[in-house]
Amino acid sequence: MTPADLDLISAGTALRAGSLTSENLIGAVLDRIAQREPTLNAFTALYADRALAAARAADRDLMNGIDHGPLHGLPVGIKDLIDIDGEITGCGSRVAVAGPARADAEVVRRLRAKGAIILGKLQTYEFAVVGPDFNLPHPPARNPWNRDHSTGGSSSGSAAAVAGGLLRTALGTDTGGSIRSPSSYCGAVGLKPTYGTVPTGGVFPLSPSLDVIGPLSASVAEAALTFDAIADTKASRLIGAPVAGLRVGYARAWFASDPNCDAAVLQALDDAASTLSLLGVRIEEIDLPDYALFEAAGAVVLHAEAYQVHKAMMAADPRGYGRLAYQSVMSGMLLSDADVAVAREAGAALTAELFAAMAPVDALLTANTLSTALPFSAFDGETVVWTHMRTLPFNVTGQPVLALPSGFSNRLPMGLQLAARPGDEALLCQIGHAFEQATDHSAQRPQLPGL
């Protein structure tokens, strides 16, 4: 075991006790990346020299009694949709979005203000749209549990880096499941915050009325710690609090009869409900609005807004786009203002219906992805392949969702989702942490170089 294996809480404690320096921690993390990055393709850029310099500065601050907070001296990775001052925001594309960023995105500024050390940029599906695509500047990130399988997207590098032990936490974005899908497929924890809680300034948009930024982390406590830093909140305040007496609605009917749902996924969700029940949580099955309608309403808004974001860039450089992203974004051209208005109205009605269904409970439990990660052979590079998930409706509702590992099937991770009312991230982390501690799903790690 090296300092790279320490969770953020333990590493922070060691830094303050003087038994570890940030410089030694960052050095160990860089060594781990050198060992494993060639097999994972998680990073698009690594700022080794700057990270070490920042670590030395963090050590000096602690020696002088200056402590910027729980992330002081600890490494964080940034999805390559998010601006870092002086660096190109590549967005996973050949299209030149702009020159080097002139300032840090607000989330990066907040991380630095809390003492975090920005280690590098992480892979994304092209413009966070769709993938994987082997015909882009960087080969796709690979699933640490089986490198012949995809990570899911679009926060692909963030999930690969965390699940592969390169980092304990990273930032991703989520417009229709882009934090939660790769968390499920790679065995990480992902937190999609309440819409509007985390500022999106300096982040390349996909669908501005759905986009959110959040952490992908190795544990619930580390996700909460990261979220606290970028949201100026305290989602970690209920970590470790008892969950007995809380009420969780199990939205089993939302996925159980879907022919695309693996039997192993269904069994893992039933087992998760049983585990929570044994912890004293009151579980009751709950019916939610029709999933297909919810997804259709969200998809119309997403594609229409994405087309508007890319319209001028596509006209200027159509050949710069990868085939998959081009196909997906161009589908928004066919949508009229009337189509979008109908979709927004439907989304609002479905949201009201979902929150009414939630009235008797504190949170929801449901599936995340309906299978394990697909192999790269399932993607031909010519046509868009949509994997089966239960994620987009929660972008429409804007409520917070915590994605958690729920088990394994054929040595590949599976995942679940816990959803709560807007602003209830702390409650989600309370329930998720209790579940995590009662199981060993999050504690398992893939076999990779350096172990």
Which residue is catalytic, options 93, 150, 154, 183?
Answer: 154
**Widest pairwise Cα distance in the chain:** 62
How far apart are alpha carbons 159 and 79 in whole angstroms? 10
Mapped onto helix, strand or coil, the DSSP state of residue 2 is coil
pTM of the model as a whole: 0.97
Cis amide bond preceding 132, omega within 30: yes
- Indicate if 178 belongs to the active site: yes
**Residue whose token pair is 């920005």:** 118
Instruction: Please name each of the domains of the chain with its CATH number.
Output: 3-286+350-438 (3.90.1300.10)
> Residue 64, class by beta-carbon neighbours within 10 Å (0-12 exposed, 13-18 middle, 19+ buried)?
exposed
Q: What is the pLDDT of residue 232?
A: 83
Q: What is the H or E stretch that residue 212 is in?
A: strand 212-217
Q: What is the pLDDT of residue 380?
A: 86
Task: Give residue 296's identity as a one-letter amino acid code.
Answer: A
Strands (E) across 341-400 are located at 363-367
- Kindly list the distances between the CA atom of residue 143 and the CA atoms of 151, 296, 372, in Å, as whole numbers in the listed order: 5, 29, 11
Name residues whose C-beta falls within 8 Å of residue 13's C-beta, 6 or more positions apart in sequence.
none
Q: Is residue 206 a contact partner of residue 46, using CB atoms and an 8 Å limit?
A: no
Structure tokens at 373: 């990660």
How far apart are alpha carbons 392 and 434 in whole angstroms? 26
Q: What is the pLDDT of residue 450?
A: 62
How far apart are alpha carbons 146 and 327 in whole angstroms? 28
How far apart are alpha carbons 255 and 294 in whole angstroms? 13
Q: CB atoms < 10 A from the CB of 80, how many?
A: 28
Q: What is the pLDDT of residue 449?
A: 76
Which residue is catalytic, options 22, 93, 158, 178?
Answer: 178
Which residue is catalytic, options 79, 114, 121, 192?
Answer: 79
Structure tokens at 386: 């949509």
Q: What is the pLDDT of residue 96?
A: 77
- Indicate if 114 belongs to the active site: no
Parts of the chain with a pLDDT under 70: 450-451
Structure tokens at 350: 């479905």
Q: Is residue 118 a contact partner of residue 47, using CB atoms and an 8 Å limit?
A: yes
Cα within 13 Å of Cα(387), Cβ side: 31
How far apart are alpha carbons 148 and 159 in whole angstroms? 15
> Residue 422, class by beta-carbon neighbours within 10 Å (0-12 exposed, 13-18 middle, 19+ buried)?
middle
Structure tokens at 184: 């499920």
